[in-house]
Chain A
């Protein structure tokens, strides 16, 4: 592991993370210093744009482009004096995803350095880390790191006498999946109900307290120091044409070595699963997998050659999402798995729009019946209808379409399993004693 091959994780130590001094000894804060003293914000923004960095929060939106949507005002416009905000989205609640946790617990100062760089570029005077409520250890470590950074004048007024000031606050979430959606996050941060906002206006224009705001994922931000330390070319060489940098991939399910690996962007599913995660557990075969968290479509064993980058996965009919594989083996019931996922989304629906609020529990009710062997064939039509009902454009935010993805792909790929449940009036996997 070297800074050049594993920029994001080479300093990670989950048992004993580097404190401020230790981090500095490993060239920590050097990149931030470089940016603050050698770049104008505009120059630094150009660097981020040309690096090709894409958001690691799930949607893969180019980071530099997002930042360039911040409005620019004439100097005499009173709005030019209004504050801007930077928010780090550390709400990580996507099932099967735990990559941000590694960075938060393992190398907290790297995130703070990243936020100083991002804050400087976008002109933020105040920044927040919105942390998943259950990440108690991360909360403790991040807070410690923030305190150290304030003491060392890496946060607060006039950072390192650069003239740039940044207040950084840690906010621990009350624990709802929807708080990860950036506008719901902003509402939650304002003390309002965590309901996604109407867009436009996008947060870049009117976000936190109505002011221009940038929201980025932990992993996205963590790339910044390394882009500035090693250069744009270095960053791009890790990945195929359309992508750049490394990615922290994860895998869970009944595989030999569940875990996380920082790899060049675009590693194939097969290599990730077999070389890094050690393949399936004894006696099990791969039935399908969700490539990037619970809100992505199933892929099949035939997709093992597909590269884990945004475009390739999309071509295969799914989404890279968070890059955390959830693996389904041949002895586990796909209906039960989909039902379990639907239960999560029905539970986490914010309740704002009808298709999601009332559609997810309806789908859950049907899946529950099918799983118990009480389903009928028309239930399958009804499930398809519900998938249409909750699809993109029909709901207020992306949660419900996310809930549809595993369901619809399972209906397509595992049709026989559904029909077997209905015709045999029970779960065939349970009957064969395979469960668990």
Chain B
């Protein structure tokens, strides 16, 4: 539909509105206050709460008018409405009054207090006293698991939670129960919410029914939080976050609106996957450097420690979880030849092909995904690997129903009407997959098979699309997919790295090429493993070595003095290699924020900042360059990795002297611009400063009064954001530290900074993308997989299903995630089970190996039959496996004793996680009282 501007009259004044909007969106677009509850910009209108009532007049002579619900009324040219007439004002006040008959008014103990939409709307309607004299209804609350708290008495029955959880996000375990004024929103019984998007309930619910458990446990009011714009570091989507901190600990993560990416919603990985920054596994001290003064670290200390290594050659390994800046600087220090981008030997071919793909295709944004009317997913369980993308795919499937509704004159925002009309109709989604995925149930067809078979299917599809096929050779299912694809207005192909099959990866890219050749409006995307993987692709060249090669070379090459590893855990590093590194007298320098295998092995450890204390950029799966800012300044000797690297450069006497005096982010960038070819980032010069703290922040001068009466100097930095309440209240562009507007204390205030609901922010900066056009690799040759060696199961393929809370090293350092145990299950076909003489629910021992390595792993799992599985393909869902690189050796019946022992291990792990969670909380609460005083600011020279 075209965006057609109309004029309507609100309170007698003329306003321009978008002709496709409803009245509520139109009123809010004009920055007028009108309260609402059940409407949500992304979820549309259902007319349940009746809070958005206005009076509509037939013409200028009509003085009486009639009450209509703004959210369900389409705008029309010349329409006359009033918000400030007595009738609609009184009605709106009554609606709040009626909701409040059952609300407990327990604001003081409510984690929503101070940023509660219900509080805001109550004030807005002018409801100031209670007339109801009866009893309030009460409910029993549920334990909803690790993330989301539940306090049902606060419910005002707006139905937003279920509409989000079930209708929007496809969740199945949260529902509506009961009726009349006893409507209950919860699960059938207590238990962990199953959806990957459960945390959005916290923001979707306009009251304090659903709250962030982590935040509630260590709580501060919104106005007491220091916040900064951040980027989620947990997957390649790059959702925008707003992170809140007080007394040096990160308290919570909220969605930060981005109209092309996350919109209003993020996944639980982003919302709850950041508390590792508060963990006691954080590195706070250097290793291998003598501090000259007990007060802190001096630049001279670093220079002295590196005295013997001046001008020597080092190898280095960067990583996809470090910033573009840190990686680039490391590469400059050691030189392109000596710099590994952090990909393993298995990953490197993927990386090179992925870069090649990016040189020819621009991956679509999430907003564009939601416009697609055909989706093909090639063996990537996006719900687990890039959850927010799966949420957008679910919205894309609604397009068929929306089109049908539109043909009946029903606009897409009439949510319940559109769903009624759509019924079960969905846009086509086809899935090739080696594991069962959550999207399977909404797919038109799902083919569960090995990556090898999927590769053949993809090749057939290419043949059909390029007309290089003979009809009889093609599987009819493939013809059906091709038909649907060609008929679509905007077909979308999605794939990624998870299947670990090079052949399939190249054919997927070939398919995307073929689709874009035969369909001018087609689009695609490839997910990548980490937040800044695509940034690393940009630094990967023909000669880039894998992690394994780099380690091996460090050990064997006598010209190499040592190895610098930037925020990489080196999962493949073996004990033997560590010993060899030591005996070869190599200097191993680890720059990281948390303790891991390599930081323990290294002789020099430089504690770096995690994303919440850093300033830098990540490139998401599209190559979109996004900046994150420190929420709280690091406490020395913790520094940004790039700051450490500047020190290393000067100690090792690498690079120009200029670099050695760099002490700010902008001078670093100036240096890059001068010295680096194709340096992709241009910093926006900001002449205003923005406060990270709201003006209401309490204890401004007294926060540390228990330690000293001197008011500390706030940490200074040249960036726009201040670690204080100095500066503008809020940025109106892309990088708001938090959202607030007069009268709107909750995140719903975002409407006042958008051009229109769901639209871009008012002062939007244009998006920046890494350009891969000059990629040096052309049609990268795929390496031959080869058959896995020495397994009994040569003909059987095994896939891993890695649940999202098990992914990445960081979830392992978070107790909450370790506590979300899932039973291990091995899914096999019936005939496989028969052949192996195994029965359903039996416990089996699955032996696994890594390709070309002697590493073995054994896991216990319960056997399940999946009738859709082909004989020669199985998949394993195992809690203790975090990566996909395993190959099957054997499946045997588990022996009782070993099994029992294993069960005990699992139990112990749970117990220790529980304990850790408790201890962390206690430690943080103590820290609130004894926060290390930062009388001085962050920079080294400052000390």
Binding site for B on A (CB under 8 A): 176, 178, 193, 197-198, 200-201, 205-206, 209-211, 346-355, 357-362, 365, 369, 382, 385, 388-389, 393-396
Tell me the bound Cα distance from A206 to B419 in angstroms.
10
Taking CB atoms, residues of chain B closer than 8 Å to A389 are 91, 94, 98
Q: Is the CB of A200 within 8 A of B410?
A: yes
- Contact partner of B48 among A176, A205, A206, A352, CB < 8 A? A352
**Across the two chains, which residue of chain B brings its CB closest to A193?**
B176
- Contact partner of A358 among B98, B131, B421, B422, CB < 8 A? B98
B1 at the interface (CB under 8 A from A): no
B228 at the interface (CB under 8 A from A): no
Instruction: Decide: A394 near B421, CB < 8 A? Known: A193-B176, A200-B410, A361-B181.
Output: no
B482 at the interface (CB under 8 A from A): no
1/0 per residue B754-783: CB within 8 Å of A?
A: 000000000000000000000000000000
B749 at the interface (CB under 8 A from A): no
- Contact partner of B102 among A346, A358, A360, A395, CB < 8 A? A358
1/0 per residue B36-71: CB within 8 Å of A?
A: 000000000011111101000000000000111000
Tell me the bound Cα distance from A209 to B421 in angstroms.
8
Tell me the bound Cα distance from A357 to B101 in angstroms.
11
Q: Is the CB of B133 within 8 A of A369?
A: yes
A-B contact count (CB 8 A): 114
Tell me the bound Cα distance from A212 to B219 in angstroms.
53
Within 8 A of A (CB), among B170-229: 176, 178-183
B95 at the interface (CB under 8 A from A): yes
- Contact partner of B47 among A198, A211, A347, CB < 8 A? A198
Q: Is the CB of B180 within 8 A of A394?
A: no
- Contact partner of B67 among A197, A362, A393, CB < 8 A? A393
Taking CB atoms, residues of chain A closer than 8 Å to B99 are 354, 358
Instruction: Decide: A198 near B95, CB < 8 A? Known: A206-B421, A210-B425.
Output: no
1/0 per residue B513-556: CB within 8 Å of A?
A: 00000000000000000000000000000000000000000000
Q: Other CB < 8 Å A-B pairs besides A198-B416, A348-B180, 20 of them? A: A178-B179, A197-B417, A201-B405, A201-B417, A201-B420, A210-B421, A210-B423, A346-B181, A353-B48, A355-B50, A357-B180, A358-B181, A359-B98, A361-B180, A361-B181, A365-B132, A382-B131, A389-B98, A396-B47, A396-B50
Q: Is the CB of B181 within 8 A of A351?
A: yes
B684 at the interface (CB under 8 A from A): no
B640 at the interface (CB under 8 A from A): no
Q: Is the CB of B50 within 8 A of A197?
A: no
Q: Is the CB of B180 within 8 A of A197?
A: no
Tell me the bound Cα distance from A198 to B53 in angstroms.
16
Q: Is the CB of B420 within 8 A of A393?
A: no
Q: Whole-angstrom distance from the CB of B2 to the nearest CB of chain A?
A: 22
B414 at the interface (CB under 8 A from A): yes
1/0 per residue B59-94: CB within 8 Å of A?
A: 000000011100010000000000000000001001
B742 at the interface (CB under 8 A from A): no
Within 8 A of A (CB), among B416-454: 416-417, 420-425
Instruction: Decide: A394 near B46, CB < 8 A? Known: A200-B417, A358-B102.
Output: no
**Across the two chains, which residue of chain B brings its CB closest to A396?**
B47
Q: Is the CB of A393 within 8 A of B68?
A: yes
Taking CB atoms, residues of chain A closer than 8 Å to B132 are 362, 365
Q: Whole-angstrom distance from the CB of B911 to the nearest CB of chain A?
A: 41
Within 8 A of A (CB), among B210-253: none
The 3 closest A-B pairs by CB, nearest first: A210-B423, A365-B134, A358-B98
- Contact partner of B420 among A206, A346, A354, CB < 8 A? A206
Instruction: Decide: A350 near B179, CB < 8 A? Known: A198-B420, A201-B421, A394-B67.
Output: yes
Instruction: Decide: A198 near B50, CB < 8 A? Known: A193-B176, A350-B179.
Output: no
Tell me the bound Cα distance from A389 to B95 in angstroms.
8
Instruction: Decide: A353 near B180, CB < 8 A? Known: A198-B417, A211-B423, A358-B98.
Output: no
Tell me the bound Cα distance from A303 to B91 in angstroms.
34
Taking CB atoms, residues of chain B closer than 8 Å to A359 are 98
Instruction: Decide: A347 near B180, CB < 8 A? Known: A201-B408, A354-B157, A358-B101.
Output: yes
Q: Is the CB of B420 within 8 A of A365?
A: no
**Across the two chains, which residue of chain B brings its CB closest to A349?**
B180
Pick 11 A–B contacts, CB within 8 A, sort by A. A193-B176, A198-B417, A200-B410, A201-B410, A201-B420, A349-B181, A354-B48, A358-B181, A362-B134, A394-B67, A395-B50
Instruction: Decide: A362 near B420, CB < 8 A? Known: A198-B414, A357-B183, A396-B48.
Output: no
Taking CB atoms, residues of chain A closer than 8 Å to B178 are 351
Tell me the bound Cα distance from A174 to B115 in angstroms.
41
Taking CB atoms, residues of chain A closer than 8 Å to B101 are 358, 361-362
Taking CB atoms, residues of chain B closer than 8 Å to A211 are 423
Within 8 A of A (CB), among B449-500: none
Taking CB atoms, residues of chain B closer than 8 Å to A197 are 416-417, 420
Q: Whole-angstrom distance from the CB of A175 to the nearest CB of chain B?
A: 11
Taking CB atoms, residues of chain A closer than 8 Å to B410 are 200-201
Q: Is the CB of A394 within 8 A of B420?
A: no
Taking CB atoms, residues of chain B closer than 8 Å to A360 are 180
Tell me the bound Cα distance from A211 to B421 in angstroms.
7
Q: Whole-angstrom distance from the CB of B669 to the nearest CB of chain A?
A: 53
Q: Whole-angstrom distance from the CB of A381 to the nearest CB of chain B?
A: 10
Tell me the bound Cα distance from A362 to B50 in angstroms.
17
**Across the two chains, which residue of chain B brings its CB closest to A348?**
B180
- Contact partner of B183 among A176, A351, A361, A382, CB < 8 A? A351
Within 8 A of A (CB), among B555-585: none
Tell me the bound Cα distance from A176 to B179 in angstroms.
10
Q: Is the CB of A393 within 8 A of B47?
A: no
Tell me the bound Cα distance from A51 to B134 in angstroms.
52
**Across the two chains, which residue of chain A brings its CB closest to B98?**
A358
Q: Is the CB of A210 within 8 A of B48?
A: no
Q: Whole-angstrom distance from the CB of A352 to the nearest CB of chain B?
A: 5
Tell me the bound Cα distance from A369 to B134 in angstroms.
9
Taking CB atoms, residues of chain A closer than 8 Å to B46 are 198
Taking CB atoms, residues of chain B closer than 8 Å to A362 are 98, 101, 132, 134
**Which of B48, B98, B133, B422 has the most chain A CB within a 10 Å cutoff?**
B98
Q: Is the CB of B68 within 8 A of A346?
A: no
Q: Whole-angstrom distance from the CB of A343 to the nearest CB of chain B?
A: 11
Taking CB atoms, residues of chain B closer than 8 Å to A206 are 408, 417, 420-421, 423
Tell me the bound Cα distance from A427 to B484 in angstroms.
72
Q: Whole-angstrom distance from the CB of A331 to the nearest CB of chain B?
A: 29
Tell me the bound Cα distance from A353 to B182 in angstroms.
13
Taking CB atoms, residues of chain B closer than 8 Å to A348 are 180
Tell me the bound Cα distance from A358 to B136 in angstroms.
11
Q: Whole-angstrom distance from the CB of A316 to the nearest CB of chain B?
A: 24
Tell me the bound Cα distance from A198 to B414 in angstroms.
9
**Across the two chains, which residue of chain B brings its CB closest to A190?**
B423
**Across the two chains, which residue of chain B brings its CB closest to A393?**
B67
Taking CB atoms, residues of chain B closer than 8 Å to A394 are 50, 53, 67, 91
Taking CB atoms, residues of chain B closer than 8 Å to A200 are 408-410, 417
Q: Whole-angstrom distance from the CB of A132 to the nearest CB of chain B?
A: 17
Q: Is the CB of A357 within 8 A of B420?
A: no
Instruction: Decide: A346 near B423, CB < 8 A? Known: A359-B98, A394-B50.
Output: no
Tell me the bound Cα distance from A348 to B181 in angstroms.
10
Taking CB atoms, residues of chain A closer than 8 Å to B95 are 354-355
Within 8 A of A (CB), among B102-138: 102, 131-134
Q: Is the CB of B134 within 8 A of A361?
A: yes
Taking CB atoms, residues of chain A closer than 8 Å to B49 are 353-354
Tell me the bound Cα distance from A200 to B417 in angstroms.
7
Tell me the bound Cα distance from A382 to B181 in angstroms.
19
**Which of A178, A198, A353 has the most chain B CB within a 10 Å cutoff?**
A198
Tell me the bound Cα distance from A362 to B180 in angstroms.
12
**Which of B53, B94, B101, B156 has the most chain A CB within a 10 Å cutoff?**
B94
Q: Whole-angstrom distance from the CB of A371 to the nearest CB of chain B?
A: 14
Q: Is the CB of A346 within 8 A of B176?
A: no
**Across the two chains, which residue of chain B brings its CB closest to A71?**
B408
1/0 per residue B387-412: CB within 8 Å of A?
A: 00000000000000000010011100
Q: Is the CB of B179 within 8 A of A354?
A: no
